[in-house]
Structure 1
Amino acid sequence: MQQTISEVNFNRISNEQVVSFIHDNELYKLNDFAALESFCPKTNCTKQFYQHHKTFFIEERLEKVWNAYKSIHPKKAWCGSMLEFGLQYCRNNNKLSYIDDEYTGAKAGQIVLIRVKALGGLAKVAVGHEITSINDEQHTLETSYLVKGKSLGSQRIQLSTCNKGFTKISHHTIYKSGSWLRDKLIYPFFHTKAIREFHSNIRKSLAKQ
């Protein structure tokens, strides 16, 4: 059997879960990544999907916070006790990016593979999502899970000004998998912890400026 020549530099991916995800889905060529599909709530019925909503606050003005969400490097956004950045693919330039590569900001069409750790490290899973929309006027950023993942769904982050000129961050998620136990008990708990870590990373990056 002829061995597949990969365009992925596995030596630059720091976690084995993302590496396994790439192998399991045979993502060896740029065209393989380009063919990935993400969930589209506009073309799918989401009436039976579960809803998850959390609100966060950052004591900085709206435009400064919005810029941080768009410009933070993935290795800083997806890092901590639960999250670890693995790899990014950009549809616009058909290019893979690794943890120490230069980052020019969030754009629609970017697919990010991360590792999520839970239960003190007993459970580790690779999660892939795509940025599907960025709206500067409404201060919204939307992402969707890859169809090949364990759950279908999308997330919407919206920023607005609250009291004292600070920024309110509303994070709304719709999701569904094939497991009632996962959807009702496991997902809400660990998703809350994961997005709390993500938004905390944004807050920390602003504090260092």
Structure 2
Amino acid sequence: MCYSDSDPNYHEHFEKYLFDQPFDEVWETYVSIDPAKAWAGKMLHFNQLYSRETGEEVFPGQEFKAEMGVGQVIILNLHVFNGAIKLTIGHEVMEVDKNKKLIRICYLENSKSEGSQFISFKTLPDGKTEVSHKTFYRSGSWFRDKVIYPYFHTKAINEFHGNVRNAILANY
């Protein structure tokens, strides 16, 4: 259920991350990181990756041999309130374009929320890389969209981008 810019009824969430490394190194880590490492933390837990293109399935503990690509479905478990509430969410990778410096992910149909996440990369004059994570979302619930979603989405994407940062630093 992707965001459509012709429909104004979406909420917007935005976070920015700064990396000391150049674009190519940051990009390569984002598209090649093992999903079990990318989606690992107090709240995020990798459950499964399925590729619509190749039929490949990856579960926790299995080696991820590919790169992030269009048609990959990523299933995550979220542990909220220290695991008191456990939710399963799904995303599909819709675009991975190094030339456009963009990764676009959409929510799976029948999820609580619908919309898209845009991860954009920008090379800064000092050679560092800025990563912007913009999300357009809606769920049909004012309370979920205005109170719950922004708080937990920020926690989730901070874990994700922090894990990518750790993977970059581990290469040094």
Give the alignment's TM-score, normalised by structure 2: 0.94
The answer to whether 1:110 aligns with 2:66 is no
Distance 1:178 1:51 in 2: 14
Distance 2:19 2:100 in 1: 18
Aligned counterpart for 2:83 among listed residues 121, 136, 155 = 121
Q: CA RMSD in A?
A: 1.3
3-state SS of the aligned residue for 1:144? strand
Q: Deviations over 1:21-49 (max 9, x none)?
A: xxxxxxxxxxxxxxxxxx1334x853111
Q: Deviations over 1:85-124 (max 9, x none)?
A: 0011100112322123232110000001001122222222
Aligned counterpart for 2:39 among listed residues 72, 78, 92 = 78
Distance 2:13 2:7 in 1: 13
Give the helix-richer structure, 1 or 2.
Answer: 1
* Runs of 4 or more above 3 Å deviation: none
Aligned counterpart for 2:157 among listed residues 183, 188, 195 = 195
Which letter maps to 2:22? R
Q: How many residues align?
A: 170
Range moving further from structure 2, 89-98 or 127-136: 89-98
Distance 1:145 1:45 in 2: 18
Distance 2:15 2:140 in 1: 23
1:18-167 alignment, distance < 5 Å: 39-42=1-4, 45-103=6-64, 104-167=66-129
Identity of aligned residues (%): 36
Distance 2:3 2:48 in 1: 24
Structure 2: runs of 5+ lacking an equivalent: none
Question: Contact 2:93–2:104 (CA<8 Å) still a contact in 1?
Answer: yes
Distance 1:98 1:171 in 2: 26
Structure 1: runs of 5+ lacking an equivalent: 1-38
Question: Contact 2:2–2:114 (CA<8 Å) still a contact in 1?
Answer: no
Which letter maps to 2:97? N
Distance 1:90 1:73 in 2: 14
Give the strand-richer structure, 1 or 2.
Answer: 2
Give the alignment's TM-score, normalised by structure 1: 0.78
Rg bigger for which structure? 1
Distance 1:114 1:137 in 2: 28
Aligned counterpart for 1:185 among listed residues 120, 142, 147 = 147
Q: Deviations over 1:50-89 (max 9, x none)?
A: 0011101111111100000000000000001110000111
Structure with greater contact order relative to length (CA < 8 Å, sep ≥ 6): 2
